[in-house]
Amino acid sequence: MPSESQLYFDDFTLGERFRSPGRTLGEAHFLLFAGLTGDNHPIHYDEDYARQSRFGARVAHGLLVMAMSALGATALSQRLEASMIAFLEQGGRFLRPVLLGDSVHAEFEVAGLERKGDKGVLRLRIRLLNQRGEEVLEGHHAYLLRCR
């Protein structure tokens, strides 16, 4: 990617916002995630069991939902290839269930900029929203980036 399209720590401003494309969580996502992690609780795969739960339907794995907030799944990721040093931390709080067939997208807001010499910590506030515009997760990420 040409260097002029690359973003560095210095290029971000507090309050700046980005959005990820939406993704619909289907059967394959649930099965692959369960296979990868070993999390095979019936709330994720057993329709009858899930129907009798307080959610009334199959619920996405919490860590699968958290993974949907990945900055790497956005177009912004390619613009950080020259500056990205490390993904430092993440955290989140689940606000609503994400059910089989729900579509979600992430919204990112620059919440903190901490320069440390020739590097800086970019702190992002994360909101994950479903197809109805309901917030299903709130959280944060922190990245260590090179400065220009």
Q: Which domains does the chain have, with CATH numbers?
A: 3-146 (3.10.129.10)
Query: What pLDDT does 67 receive?
Result: 94
- Let me know: does 74 contact 20? Beta carbons within 8 Å: yes
| pLDDT, tens digit, 9 for 90 and up, residues 95-105 | 999 999 999 99
| pLDDT, tens digit, 9 for 90 and up, residues 30-87 | 999 999 999 999 999 999 999 999 999 999 999 999 999 999 888 899 999 999 999 9
The answer to whether residue 129 scores a pLDDT higher than 60 is yes
Query: What pLDDT does 3 receive?
Result: 52
Helix residue ranges, H only, the chain = 27-37, 42-45, 47-51, 62-67
- Rounded to two decimals, the pTM is 0.90
